[in-house]
Amino acid sequence: RGYADAERLLLFADLHGHSRRHNIFAYGCEASKSALRGAERVFPRLLADCPHFSLPGCSYKVMKSKESTGRVVVWRQFALPHSFTIEASFCGARLPSCGDAAQGGGGGGGSSSGVHFHTGHLRDMGAAIVPALVALTDPAQMRVHAILAGMAAGAEADAAAAAAALQGGGDGDEATDGK
Active site residues: 87
Give the 3-state secondary structure of residue 172: coil
Cα(49)–Cα(82) distance, rounded to whole angstroms? 17
Check residue 116 and report its DSSP letter. P
Closest CA to 29 of 73, 83, 74, 101: 83
Residues 128, 91, 54, 24: what is their CA dihedral angle, to the nearest 10 degrees? Answer: -30
Evaluated on CA atoms 95, 101, 107, 109, the torsion sign reads positive
Element (H, E) at 18: strand 12-18
Evaluated on CA atoms 163, 169, 170, 172, the torsion sign reads negative
